[in-house]
Chain A
Amino acid sequence: MIDVKDLLRELREEPYEKIVIRAPHSGRVEFVVQEPGTKVAGASGTWKETSGTLLARLEREQNKKPLFAPQKGEIMSFAGIQSGQFVQAGQELMTIRHFLTREEVIDRILRRSLSLFPAPEKGKYYFFPDVDIKIKTKGSQTVHVEDGMELFILSRMKRETSVRYSGPAGIIYAVYFETNDSVDRNSPLIGVCPESELGKIQEVISRVQSDWEERD
């Protein structure tokens, strides 16, 4: 089992995450937020229906599209691009310093304490239909997995193959991929927790809930 104290100390030393804002596509950029240090907000509302702070606009083919801040934080730095300049897809525009929330801290700790099952190949992953239904209706934590169990369908190059789970038996505590997104090789698909250790995980979570102070 993991040492929560150490992990928390480590996270406290750098309690933020750098988010690099890149041009989602080619076009001419026009910055709305100009100053480093500007506080920005992420999408909010029950359904994330209110967009985050407008950072810049990107115009392509007479179509100006807004670029919103994905998370709460402050602008750390700009990448030296001037308003009106043409940028290529994926070009770095600015970096946001995002202070970790409790959920994110919990997620990070979980990723280190759960037994992760990585994607054996790059491709799109789906759960087996019966597992999928169970997850959708009752949540992933009702699904018990065991070594050698057929758990995923891997879809790549228009072909589907089944993937067996290997690792300790337990429940699926967290799901780390989205249907229809391509998953890179070795990035985690699920985090599994043996039933016997559920209590400890709960303890970690309540520990973070009480100990971690969120910053703006």
Chain B
Amino acid sequence: MDIEKRIQELRDRLKYIQDIFGADENTNVTMLDAKLGEYLLREPGLTEQEAVRQLETLEELFRFLEKKLERELTPMNRVRIVRHPQRICLKDILENVYDNYTEIGGQDDYSIDPSMLIARAYITRRRGKKIHHQAVMVIGQEKGHGQEFRNGGSVKPWGNAKALHYMKVAETENIPIHTYIFTPGSYPIEDYPGAAQQIAKNLYEMAGLKVPIVAVISEGGSGGAEAIGLADTRIMMSHGYYSVISPEGAAAIEGRLRGGQRAEPRLIERCAEQLKITADDNRAMGFVDWKINEPPLGARPEHYDFFRKLRKSVIASTDEIVLGVSGMRLFRSLALKRHKGADVYVRWSLNARAKERLLWTRYMKYRRMAQSAYLDKRHWFSRGSESIGEFVTSLYSYFRYDLFGKQHKKVTELAEDMHAEMQVVVGRSTRYWKGLMSKLSFGKGKKEVDTAGLTSLSAWDEAAQNNGKWQYVSPQAKKDRSVTCPNAPVHGCLDQWAPDLFGEWAGVCSFCGHHFPMEYQWYLHNIFDPGSIYEVFSEIESVNPLKFDGFDLKLDEAKRKTGHKCGCMTFEARIEGTSVMVAMFMGAFRGGSVGAAEGEKFIRAMERARKKQLPFLSYVHGTAGIRIQEGVNGVIQMPRCTMAVRRYTEAGGLYLVLYDTNSYAGPVASFLGCSPYQFAVRSANIGFAGPGVIKETTGMDIPPNYHNAFQALSRGHIQGIWDRREIRSNLVQSLQTMGGRNLYYR
């Protein structure tokens, strides 16, 4: 009987190994298979004693080879481990790591989104005779050992909204948050609140969440991971992966596959390696704080030792965060530093000052990431002088806006009140006097009719009217040819002459209003005041931090073609005399994808705008998402840039986003989507994942206009749609109405 059980266990272990190693030939796996097979043939003829003995040898062989296989694990094997139904899941962790818990808002598939699990949990610690119960908000994706309704941990937008809701609850309750990341990626649908927009909201809120956050990563799939991943301490399980995209997705892009074609296994394997997705890689690059070792071939529910280890880790991490920012900490943090498992008691609630320090520490932690993934070729001197310059500016703006500005504002407000009071008193009497005067007809008794004004030529500044004359004319307007509008079958638009269409009409179909794409230069020259563009941080250059195969060539090609060093151009410019800071994402540079250089430039521009107290505009000429060839260096820009936005807007900044052509994925799901004022140029598409990806991941057929700006507006993702020819006047209007009188201050 006992033997039967043990044989079954071996069978399961073999099956698991075969699952992990997949179709690849592996002598060790073949050997285990053969040995087990032989034993099963022999076993009926053996005495019980002999059977047990041989079984023990076989078990020993299993243990030995499992350890050996552990050392041979490829990144792709790890991907299969975390996706395996036997992989530990959040429910297991709640059972084994915490002492007590209640699931919030879900009972199996009765949940707004069963793939997002929230629990209020307790950790009980005994210190001497005293017992402390410490409350934690546990949030994470639940894969549920392959339960269908869990959707593999792929969270729908409202699941992420639920997560955010309870993070805010934890903030109110002043208890730490533990997040567990078990997701292959977010479920890419646009239904309200929308995959991208909700992740952006989560990131923006987490950037300012005033409680300690610890994140544990098992399967960190891109945007879905970031939705709950912006933490003070990030722990990664040794067999997990954390990546910008699934290896299959990367392979599909690399292999330029379309319409659901499957990528070659070899290519997938290579992508998995090159993307540097393992715990060790991420630890080395500084994207996670520490790695927690799992048993050979990954943790499964029966590995109780692992749960103990995990428990210690999350408790210690929480302690460390709290001690790092609170006043009374010296001995305890020393003790913790010396000995990871040191059993000290730390109260997890924070006071007001500690909360501020926590946010600053969090900001700096992310600010320092991915610093070696871009190139800054400037001479040290110019870098130094820049920082001196910035110091001077910030000193100036401190005096101008903070010190004097605040005083001045108080005085002005007082004066305004005084004036208003006076008016009530004086107004009455002046009215009286005016009436009297007119009765006595002291003033001009008879009105004179301005005949000349009605019949002769008036002065009029015609130069102020553009009358279809633009500063920059697209090269598309120089060809003698006609162009067909894509809406012609529906709206009956006639073919238009390219010089008219791309010249005077600014690429707008004169029949249906469809906007043909225009070069980003068109916007540079026709939106901002002529000659007012002053580029900054132009030296920051995109590189190939992961040495991704063939990517150097592609990058060089993009740099040559566009004349830019990365896909983001940052500049100061004026619109009708108002200075604005602009980050422009160019579709022509690697599809407008965002990597470390683009992110760094964006953050620096944000910091500059904050110091100089300028409104900020993100003009997205087009972005395909995060640059996958930079791996996590790219995806980490999502929290990094969003935190910069938060810091800027908290300081009173006005942040506008304008989408053009196509904007998708990571950037929209973070630093673009978090703006309260997002607009789209007509005919733009905005979304999380393209139609192909949606079809593949959800099996849903989506209509051709799914990501259209009007749909985005109906769903509440953007706040308005602008005609290209009116961008300038709309921006002026926005600066006036959203920015207020001082454009920057609230």
Contacts and interface: CB of A to CB of B under 8 A. Distances in A.
Contacts of A49: 703-704
Contact of A61 (B481, B701, B703, B704): B481
B703 A63 contact: no
A46 B497 CA distance: 33
Nearest to A63: B482
7 contacts: A49-B703, A49-B704, A61-B495, A61-B497, A62-B480, A63-B483, A63-B495
Contacts of A60: 482, 495
A47 B482 CA distance: 28
Question: Which one of A45, A46, A61 has the greatest number of beta carbons of chain B within 10 Å?
Answer: A61
Interface of A: 45-47, 49, 60-63, 65
B495 A46 contact: no
Nearest to A62: B481
Contacts of B704: 47, 49
Contacts of A63: 481-484, 495
The 8 closest A-B pairs by CB, nearest first: A62-B481, A61-B482, A63-B482, A49-B704, A46-B701, A47-B703, A63-B481, A47-B704
B479 interface: yes
Nearest to B480: A62
Nearest to A51: B489
Nearest to B481: A62
B482 A62 contact: yes
Contacts of B484: 63, 65
Contacts of A61: 480-482, 495, 497
A23 B623 CA distance: 39
A46 B479 CA distance: 37
Contacts of B703: 46-47, 49
A95 to B, nearest CB: 22
Contacts of A62: 479-482
Interface of B: 479-484, 495, 497, 701, 703-704
Main secondary structure of the interface of A (DSSP, over half): loop
Contacts of A65: 484
Contacts, number: 24
A39 to B, nearest CB: 22
A91 B497 CA distance: 24
A63 B501 CA distance: 14
A61 B481 CA distance: 5
A63 B482 CA distance: 6
Given A61-B495, A62-B480, 4 more contacts: A49-B703, A61-B480, A62-B479, A63-B482
A49 B480 CA distance: 30
A179 to B, nearest CB: 13
Q: Which of A45, A63, A65 has the most CB of B within 10 A?
A: A63
B495 to A, nearest CB: 6
A61 B499 CA distance: 13
Contacts of B480: 61-62
A89 to B, nearest CB: 13
A216 B263 CA distance: 33
Nearest to A49: B704
A188 B483 CA distance: 36
Nearest to B705: A47
A61 B498 CA distance: 10
A45 B481 CA distance: 32
Contacts of A47: 703-704
Nearest to A180: B492
B726 to A, nearest CB: 28
Contacts of B495: 60-61, 63
Contacts of B497: 61
B475 to A, nearest CB: 15
A47 B481 CA distance: 31
Nearest to B497: A61
A86 B480 CA distance: 19
Contacts of B483: 63
A60 B480 CA distance: 11
Nearest to A25: B495
A54 to B, nearest CB: 15
B534 to A, nearest CB: 40
A46 B703 CA distance: 8
A97 B480 CA distance: 39
Residue in B479, B480, B484, B497 whose Cβ sees the most chain A Cβ within 10 Å: B484
B488 to A, nearest CB: 9
A68 to B, nearest CB: 10
A62 B479 CA distance: 9
Nearest to A61: B482
A45 B701 CA distance: 9
Nearest to A65: B484
A61 B497 CA distance: 9
